[in-house]
């Protein structure tokens, strides 16, 4: 069936198809695969023990800890927001709904540097709240809270924008049925809504987490690059690279590249689950 469907419509001569295939493969190999290969090639160039040594080095470890910490705060917050916002925006129809959805997407339209800049304008020593923060001895910029805030900003839309269209499409008949049969709001959410959205939710969390761990521009503006204290993994890779310590820089980068590959694999898995559900 499939092949007959493909034969319908345009049937370019073999030479054209071969050319398109060749261009695609060469372009992707040169632009996407080669940089990936280079990361691992450079990271392991001086052997696996040097690589391991660069990973378990004190500053690299503290960068890893900070990266995990930031993601562990930012992702749950945005996950919770995503669920709550999609309940309000997908299950109910009200005036101004689509405007709020547009506002949620705003952080995607703001460039990474500007995403960091806005928090410096708010909390930096010459910023709005700067004098008050200094007086009360609270540090946000060039400290962990600033990094967490900037990360929350750039990863803000990921979960919500996966869930809102999904839940809008699913409608609320099943929830209404549950409520009419005597379930309370919580039971309805846990037994009806959550199982229905779990794959979309997982998809959003995967993307949110990848961005939270890998964000560079926004975090770089607010971090202050204090070694062993406010360096996340991407910032640590930058510092090592700028000090011409290439092997160590690529060792740290290889961790992040590995994370990206896991993200792609998970995404692939979740997407095929979603496709399977749709064809059922």
Partner 1 sequence: MKFKFKQYNVLPGFGLTLGYTLLYLGFIVLLPLAALTIKGSELGWAGFWHVIFDARVLASYKLTFGTAFIAAIINAFFGLIVAWFLVRIKFPGKRFIDSIIDLPFALPTAVTGIALTAVYSPNGWIGKPLLDAGIKVAFTPIGITIAMIFIGLPFVVRTVQPAIQELERELEEVALSLGASQWKTFTKVIFPMILPSLITGFALAFARAIGEYGSVVFIAGNMPMKTEIASLLIITKLEQYDYLGATAIALGMLLASFLLLFIINMLQSWSSNRLKGV
For partner 1, give the closer residue by CB, 54 or 188: 188
Least separation in angstroms between residue 237's CB and partner 1 is: 6
Q: Is residue 197 a contact point for partner 1 (CB under 8 A)?
A: no
Show Cβ contacts of residue 39 under 8 Å, excluding neighbours closer than 6 positions.
250, 253, 254, 257
For partner 1, give the closer residue by CB, 14 or 136: 14
Binding mask 137-176 for partner 1 (x = CB under 8 A): ------------x--xx--x---------------x--xx
* 133, 123 Cβ separation under 8 angstroms: yes
Residue 145's nearest CA partner among 219, 76, 59, 209 is 219
State the burial class of residue 139 (Cβ atoms within 10 Å of its Cβ: 0-12, 13-18, 19+).
Answer: middle
Q: Is residue 44 a contact point for partner 1 (CB under 8 A)?
A: no
Task: Pick out residues in 241-280 that bind partner 1 (CB under 8 A).
Answer: 241, 246, 249-250, 253, 256-257, 259-261, 263-264, 267-268
Task: Using CB under 8 A, pick the residue from 127, 139, 196, 247 that binds partner 1.
Answer: 127
Residue 35's nearest CA partner among 238, 265, 260 is 260
Task: Using CB under 8 A, pick the residue from 1, 15, 48, 109 that binds partner 1.
Answer: 109
Task: Using CB under 8 A, pick the residue from 10, 15, 48, 56 that binds partner 1.
Answer: 10
Rounded alpha-carbon distances, angstroms, from residue 134 to 125, 138, 223: 7, 6, 17
Count of residues of this chain found to bind partner 1 when the rule CB under 8 A is applied: 98
Angle (CA) 111-120-123 rounded to 5° is: 140
Task: Using CB under 8 A, pick the residue from 35, 76, 131, 165 that binds partner 1.
Answer: 35
């Amino acid at each position: 069936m499939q092949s007959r469907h493909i034969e319908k419509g345009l049937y370019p001569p073999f030479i054209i198809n071969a050319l398109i295939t060749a261009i695609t493969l060469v372009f992707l190999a040169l632009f996407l695969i080669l940089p990936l290969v280079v990361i691992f090639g450079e990271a392991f160039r001086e052997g696996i023990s040097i690589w391991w040594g660069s990973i378990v080095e004190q500053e690299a470890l503290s960068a890893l800890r900070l990266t995990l910490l930031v993601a562990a705060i930012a992702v749950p917050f945005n996950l919770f927001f995503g669920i709550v916002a999609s309940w309000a925006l997908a299950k109910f129809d009200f005036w101004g709904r689509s405007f709020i959805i547009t506002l949620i997407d705003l952080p995607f339209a703001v460039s990474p540097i500007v995403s960091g800049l806005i928090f410096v304008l708010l909390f930096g020593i010459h910023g709005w709240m700067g004098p008050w923060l200094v007086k009360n001895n609270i540090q946000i910029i060039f400290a962990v809270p600033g990094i967490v805030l900037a990360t929350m900003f750039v990863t803000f839309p990921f979960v919500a924008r996966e869930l809102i269209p999904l839940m809008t499409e699913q409608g609320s008949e099943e929830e209404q049925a549950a409520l009419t049969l005597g379930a309370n709001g919580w039971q309805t959410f846990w037994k009806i809504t959550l199982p229905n959205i779990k794959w979309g939710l997982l998809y959003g969390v995967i993307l949110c987490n990848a961005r939270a761990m890998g964000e560079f521009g926004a975090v770089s503006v607010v971090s202050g690059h204090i070694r062993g204290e406010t360096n996340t993994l991407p910032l640590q890779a930058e510092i090592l690279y700028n000090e011409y310590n290439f092997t160590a820089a690529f060792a740290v980068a290889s961790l992040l590249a590995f994370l990206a590959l896991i993200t792609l694999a998970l995404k692939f898995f979740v997407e095929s689950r979603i496709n399977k559900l749709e064809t059922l």
